[in-house]
Amino acid sequence: MLGLGRPPYTEPRDPLKSPSPSAAAAVPGLFVVIWATGFVAARAVVPHTDPLLFTALRFFSVTLVLGAVALVSRARFPAGWAGWRGPMVAGFLMQGVYLSGVFYAVSHGLPAGIAALVGSLQPLLTASLAGPVLGERVGPRRAAGIALGLCGAGLVLGPKLGVADASGIPPTALAICFGAVAALTLGTLWQKRAGGGGDLLASAVLQFAGGVFCAMPLALVFGTGFFEPAPTVWLGLAWAVLVNSVAGTLLLLALIRRGAVAGVASLFFLVPPVSAAMGYVLFGETLTLVQLAGMAVAAAGVAVANRT
């Protein structure tokens, strides 16, 4: 019978590569908000749990959830240990050392917005080390961006460093946060040198697994083991695992698969002010006008240094 044959085959839409126009427009803003909540979640659970134990539980849970997603979606894991080693070492540094350090610093009085700002300076440190480590040339524009970013960071950190009130910046916590960012930078350089090819989702699973191998020993050796089963802790853990880590990672992969790598880098510049706004609304953390201006200058410096 005419007109009753099978309709022509059309390949199903991949939601990561080809989202609807409305979803595509919402993804960048949603990614910024989700990423910014990571610093706020650290601040929220501080009174109820040891930050190192919380981070270890988070990484273990994320590895299980993302691993299940990878298996269902048939992600292609590397065949041998040589392919596993690169992302796991990167995850040990980028996930384990970095996030454990940030959570510890926030638990010892570092405001969420300041922690986010220090984290956003990581591209400047990477650009500074790209020459001696990777042999990349640091041109005048990149050098100017590094200098501008450091000046902006000085405007944010200088006025409140060591001030003994709720708006102050504890020097020890700030130093730990900078150490965490140094580990993030080393992990980035390792990943770049080892090669970042392969399945992105499988690499994310291996990175969080590497984070487990860092966070668990830290929690056992240096942690207090304190864990109050309060609703805030369970809600914070669920948010950190399912929203901040799993949803944030999947949104990041969606943006990368759409070819928006440069746009993804620029989105991270918005995380510090969003985190600062959340910290003000939820915890009363405040920044002066000079600090807000410095945050803008730092973001501009990172943007200039990483412009491609």
- Confidence at residue 263, expressed as pLDDT on a 0 to 100 scale: 54
DSSP-derived secondary structure for 114-175: HHHHHHHTHHHHHHHHHHHHH-----HHHHHHHHHHHHHHHHHHGGGBT-SSTT-B-HHHHH
pLDDT of residue 57: 94
Q: What integer pLDDT is reported at residue 56 of this predicted model?
A: 94
pLDDT at site 65: 93
Q: What is the pLDDT along the chain (308 residues), one digit of tens a residue?
A: 344 444 444 444 444 455 555 556 667 778 778 888 887 888 888 888 999 999 999 999 999 999 999 999 888 888 877 788 888 998 899 889 998 998 899 888 888 778 888 887 777 777 667 666 656 666 777 777 777 777 877 777 776 665 555 557 888 988 999 999 889 888 877 877 765 567 888 888 998 999 999 999 999 998 899 999 989 999 999 999 999 888 888 877 777 666 545 455 566 667 777 777 887 787 777 777 877 787 788 777 777 766 65
For residue 64, give both structure tokens. Answer: 């299980």
> Residue 25 has what pLDDT?
63
**Strands in 128-248 per DSSP E:** none
pTM of the model: 0.75
- Tell me how far apart the alpha carbons of residues 276 and 271 are, in angstroms, rounded to a whole number: 8
Q: How many Å apart are CA 268 and CA 83, to the nearest integer?
A: 28
The confidence score (pLDDT) of residue 153 equals 76
First-to-last alpha carbon distance for the chain, in angstroms, is 58
121's tokens: 């300076």
Please give the pLDDT value at position 307.
Answer: 64
> Can you list the pairs that 155-158 forms with residues at least 24 positions away whose Cβ atoms lie under 8 Å?
155/290, 155/291, 155/293, 155/294, 155/297, 155/298, 156/114, 156/117, 156/287, 156/291, 156/294, 156/295, 156/298, 157/114, 157/294
Residue showing tokens 């201006």 = 293
Give me the phi and psi of 303, to 5 degrees please.
Answer: -65, -40
Nearest-angstrom CA–CA distance, 71 and 288: 48
Instruction: Give residue 237's identity as a one-letter amino acid code.
Output: L
* Cβ atoms 92, 258 nearer than 8 A: no
Q: Given this model, what pLDDT does residue 118 score?
A: 84
Contact between residue 116 and residue 32 where contact means Cβ atoms under 8 Å apart: no
The whole-angstrom separation of Cα 228 and Cα 166 is: 24
Please identify which residue in the block is written with the tokens 């894991």: 77
113 SS3 class:
helix
- Block residue for tokens 């240094």: 305
| Rounded CA separation 249/198 (Å) | 16
